Chain A
Amino acid sequence: MDVLDLARWQFGITTVYHFLMVPLTIGLSVLVAGMQTAWVRTGDTKYLRMTKFWGKLLLINFAMGVVTGIVQEFQFGMSWSEYSRFVGDVFGAPLAMEGLVAFFVESTFLGLWIFGWDRLSKRVHLACAWAFSLATIASAYFILAANSWMQHPVGVELVDGRPRLTSIWAVLGNNTALTAAPHTVAGCFAVAGAFLVGIGAWHLWRNRGDQPVWRASVKLGGWVGIAAFALLAGTGDLQAKLMFEQQPMKMAAAEALCHTESPAGFSIFAVGDVARPDCENVKSITVPALLSFLAHNDFTTEVRGITELVDEYQAKYGTNYPVDERLGELSGKPIDYVPMLPVTYWGFRLMIGLGALSAMVGMAVLWLTRKGRLPRGRWFPRLALLGIALPFAANSAGWIFTEMGRQPFVVAPNPSGVDGVWLFTARGVSGLAVGEVLTSLIVLTLVYGALAVVEVYLLTRYVRGGVAAVMPEKTDEPGDTLAFAY
């Protein structure tokens, strides 16, 4: 493997891993702030107990999100220095803003929230929870604006071969970001919803106390999950329509649509070798004309296929990589404009399928626990707990699809935007020694793997412990003991 492959694997592994922690933090922090609000407004201790229990799981998870986020910020410069130089005038700004405007708020107010139970008034303490949780969403927006610029570069002009920012509002108001942000945040709530449903249902079924807490948690999680899926479907449709314009190859690859069709059908499932861009040996079950509708809101329109798009891309962006020693093996070689089809095709289907399945589990659990009912079989908690994994996996599949579907570009060309603003992934990588990147890939993977074990162990322990484990009974400790200490 060369530096390019290693750096891509490292970015993929660290990013997918980071985005296991992030959605849980974002979704759960808002729900916990909501629970605390309910407690402050009603005085019902059920809501306080919910806040304490889910809040503790949130903290265990947040720590991991923070430390893996630092790696992300350093990684652009470490492994992708050519990319950083190319996009720096545009891409660095939203990252810096994220730190200054959002992440500072998150970290500071979370500290206040954790340690401030006895130091702040109820309302100020609640305000800290909201400051923290809303800042996580602001964080997500800035990062997604940066990512969306790579999907659809806007607000720039080309000066000396590099994009130069001409409008920060165009970057922050990029239509790609405006659809990606609600889609991603909805994905976060799908995760948090399934988390509440799974753990809540398990506790409810165990029946070892605090039943009102678990029942309320299941109900909240179920409805949040369903609402999140509705939002995911709606925003996903908008995103797809944009992508057919902005990155037609990605969408053709999502469908493994080899030839232009009009109208084009939507493939549900395929048997055979989807990796071949000529579609030999592939049998696919399709819904006629649905793809045309998804792309253009019209059942009769044409959707361009991979073969035709390859010709178009070659005409626009060249047939061969330039001869340049920094490109390594790729120097002078023909450019492969077709993303890895099995990854894009199945990634797209897994995202949708697992997302839908997750919402169905939520609905099923809501139905099964309606009006105080509770199934007695073991299958019930198993179903609910298994349901937790679904939205996590759907999120990962979605990101892998959208990032792999953009290849071979790291900054995808904007068909209607500024000419010349695009960058091949192969040109973005740092000129490092193979040993350096291999070392970091191994070290980070091992550290992340070990931490995953620790986090799951701790979460399991605290889930089992229930509310009692996080709410010490009032003892006769002296009055000046801290309400919480590490």
Chain B
Amino acid sequence: MDLAVVWFCVIALLWLGYLFLEGFDFGVGMLLPVLAKDDTERRVMINTIGPVWDGNEVWVIVAIGATFAAFPGWYAALLSGAYLPLLVVLVGLIGRGVAFEYRGKVDADRWRRRWDRVIVTGSWIAALGFGLLIATTVFGLPLDANGNRVGSVFAAVRWETVLGALALAGFALVHGAVFLSLKTDGDIRLRARRLAARIGPYALLPLLGLLVWAQVESGAVWTWVAVGLAVIAATLAFERIDRGREGQAFAALGVVIAASVVALFGALYPNVLPSTLDSEFSLTVAGTASSPYTLGVMSWVALFGTPAVLVYQGWTYWVFRKRVSTAHIPAVHAP
């Protein structure tokens, strides 16, 4: 198979890794004011992702880096074309990352409340923003023949991309709630489970809308199949969480996001970033790919690198497999 196509799939896979893993990180942050009743419970929630969120975030760094290496034209057009939305995402990511590390470093309620607000806002911004970015690459930008954006600076903000933003935020809410029910114990676990069951069907509607919209625009039979699979897996997830089978519900949500990524990137292929002005100007897998040599080099690195990442990240989840409850949270100790 053509290496460029392989790398298109690798990038879809990296995004899948990111959305699956940071999906629940975002959800935990977004649900912080909803699910926790006091500071100890907020700490329970944050500590379910404490050891892993930073490693999870690297998936997007590698996804973007791999796009630069394998499809420079795609990287250049998408990131410059969606400049202002990306700036907002970056500020959200900066705030969220620093907040996790800093919120417990001073023992004062004001200090913690401020950083909590940063975590919540940053998580919402990042989930909405990356949803918007992915929808932008699927539905396109007003690109000229050189791959430069010619529309307004808000060209990336349209009905379909806003739907994309809501789609990822909605998924993150459900995924985060199910993750919390899987990783916590006590009251908060029950609350998370109930919330997931209650909001789940509504929260995933934007995602369904996005998938259908993308298929109507440029789908194929097999991408419709992926949409069907996503719907079945989502239904299964709600049924499982309703019965208190948290692990199975979490796995089913994994299938939802995997099927969604397949449906979206499948609808996008063979484009990587369509031009909304003229399909002649659309950026394609073949047109933006790096040389076969560069792709070959990258393939070797990915062939050995990716399994290693999966092994040691998997091990991290194994090390921190225990549920966290309020009884586990140590007293605050800060100067």
Contacts and interface: CB of A to CB of B under 8 A. Distances in A.
B335 A73 contact: no
B35 to A, nearest CB: 16
Nearest to A112: B316
A106 to B, nearest CB: 8
A325 interface: no
B51 A115 contact: yes
B73 interface: yes
A431 interface: yes
Interface string B211-230: 00000000000000000000
Contacts of B105: 60, 458, 461-462
Contact of B290 (A92, A433, A478, A486): A92
A63 B104 CA distance: 13
Contacts of B43: 485-486
Interface string A263-287: 0000000000000000000000000
A60 B91 CA distance: 18
A111 B58 contact: no
Interface string B321-335: 000100111110111
Contact of A99 (B62, B319, B330): B62
A208 to B, nearest CB: 13
A427 to B, nearest CB: 13
Interface string B292-335: 01100110011001100100110010011000100111110111
Interface in A66-92: 66-68, 70-71, 73-74, 76-79, 81-82, 84-85, 87-92
Nearest to A99: B62
A235 interface: no
Contacts of B330: 472, 477, 481-485
A82 B86 CA distance: 18
Interface stretch (B76-84, B194-202, B231-239, B242-250): B76-84
Contacts of B6: none
B24 interface: no
B209 interface: no
Given A81-B79, A88-B76, A458-B106, A73 B329 contact: no
A107 B93 CA distance: 15
B109 interface: no
A384 B189 CA distance: 51
A104 B335 contact: no
B73 A76 contact: no
Contacts of A109: 312
B241 interface: no
A182 to B, nearest CB: 24
Nearest to A166: B293
Interface stretch (A212-220, A246-254, A295-303, A436-444): A436-444
A465 B211 CA distance: 53
Interface residues of B, number: 76
Contact of B319 (A104, A119, A430): A119
Given A84-B72, A90-B294, A77 B65 contact: no
A436 B98 contact: no
A258 to B, nearest CB: 39
B148 interface: yes
B69 to A, nearest CB: 3
B302 to A, nearest CB: 7
Nearest to A105: B312
Contacts, number: 260
Contacts of B93: 67, 70
A43 interface: no
Given A108-B55, A119-B320, A462 B75 contact: no
A255 interface: no
A71 B86 CA distance: 10
Looking at B58, B104, B316, which has the most chain A CB atoms within 10 Å of its CB?
Answer: B58
A287 B14 CA distance: 56
B68 to A, nearest CB: 4
A67 B97 contact: yes
A107 B102 contact: no
Given A115-B320, A481-B329, A85 B76 contact: yes
B33 interface: no
A85 B73 contact: yes
B68 A88 contact: yes
Contacts of A484: 330
Contacts of A159: 291
Contacts of B66: 92, 96, 99-100
B69 A482 contact: no
Nearest to A458: B105
B127 interface: no
B87 to A, nearest CB: 5
Interface string A40-76: 0000000000000000000110111011101101101
Contacts of B83: 78, 430, 432, 436-437, 440
Contacts of A111: 50-55, 316
Contacts of A108: 52, 54-55, 58, 309, 312-313, 316
A167 to B, nearest CB: 9
A109 B319 CA distance: 12
B301 A101 contact: yes
B87 A89 contact: no
A16 to B, nearest CB: 17
Given A71-B94, A77-B68, A77-B79, A461 B106 contact: yes
Contacts of A475: 331
A393 interface: no
Contact of B61 (A103, A119, A440, A464): A103
Given A71-B90, A84-B72, A482-B328, A107 B153 contact: no
Question: Lowest 9 A-B CB distances belong to which pairs?
Answer: A88-B72, A465-B335, A77-B79, A92-B69, A92-B68, A469-B335, A81-B76, A63-B101, A108-B55
Interface of B: 43, 46-47, 50-55, 57-58, 61-62, 64-73, 75-80, 83-84, 86-87, 90-91, 93-95, 97-98, 100-106, 147-149, 153, 290-291, 293-294, 297-298, 301-302, 305-306, 309, 312-313, 316, 319-320, 324, 327-331, 333-335
Given A76-B79, A78-B86, A100-B66, 8 more contacts: A66-B57, A67-B93, A73-B65, A99-B62, A432-B83, A461-B106, A475-B331, A486-B46
27 contacts: A70-B57, A74-B90, A77-B80, A79-B80, A84-B68, A85-B147, A89-B290, A91-B68, A96-B65, A97-B301, A99-B66, A101-B305, A103-B61, A108-B55, A108-B312, A111-B52, A111-B54, A164-B291, A447-B95, A451-B94, A472-B333, A480-B328, A482-B324, A482-B329, A485-B50, A486-B43, A486-B46
